[in-house]
Structure 1
């Protein structure tokens, strides 16, 4: 099988994926599969909600965080979340940030600093700039790129923002990737079924990556890992 190629066009916005000469039926990606690199398939993505049911923003790659440690000025730091979802901080080194809420990440830092370096540290984390208010859309859409999201943005709305599916897109092969805690989850959606009311229209969160595959491509774990990596890398160039 030919390798999958995903290109996110900064100028043209068009993104084409290689498709094989022969059309073959794509198997369903079974939920619960571990695809390596912390990526796991699920039947549907969990809604990003807090305990009250309200939408919450989660930290994403390329966000810039300000960390203030009360009365320890040398530990105050402004850090950018790297492409792997981590930040590097004084004393404690690399810490996972992507997929965490600000309160969760703040609690992580209190635990890490408090376990070895500080007694009852008071740490405040704030968002200086956020890439997580946007979603990356790539693959077989008319205009790939970064698009703004709100608390109630849905998959169909995101596809519409990208100009809709192009002529070779397979509406049943729309994959959404999301950071949840230390994991990256991916779920497959059929936008034709959603449009017809046969499936619910899932809510899209800031920091999600949506990739649409072409008709005739068989989907394997390697395709998904490559699509995610290329789409994430290209979106970083547009920030």
Structure 2
């Protein structure tokens, strides 16, 4: 059995994690930006959800196989996370989900209507499984994370660009935005979720909440 690592590179093979009810496939696209995209498939129904149609639809669409893509979730409005959105939606007819404060910007940049605008505590289904929306403002006003609390294992959190191994997302020198982001990450993620929670960021390798927890104070002190 191949062990999932989450270590992927643009042009390389995807990495797949098999959970009891859900399959998670991670693939990196665009050599310059190296965005992560995550395809979630309900094992009982075959329905699929894509987290961030970032780029290269010729890479993303074949991952679907014979399965139906019902939903694309865009974690935030930044251009590198939705360049393939129009092509993926055109090919699949999938519902488009995004955080309310970022929805208009996503539509303006892509020409794709956001069919469902979500807020803190909303849920998004993929087949028989349910993901919870965690709104984390700071990197952008409408950034969202998706939580899958596996009843037969540990939680899984898709963080977009709000949380990475080694720190929170970029706030581009905006001190108030940084304080907002680290406050929300601390209260909505670290104070709530157990150490074994595995998180999947918008770029680079995965990590766990327990691995990053001791560094929270250091991140806050350094201001980025």
TM-score calculated relative to the size of structure 1:
0.24
Return the structure number with greater relative CO, CA threshold 8 A, min gap 6: 1
Of Structure 1 and Structure 2, the greater helix share is in 2
The structure with more radius of gyration: 1
Greater share of strand residues, 1 or 2? Answer: 2
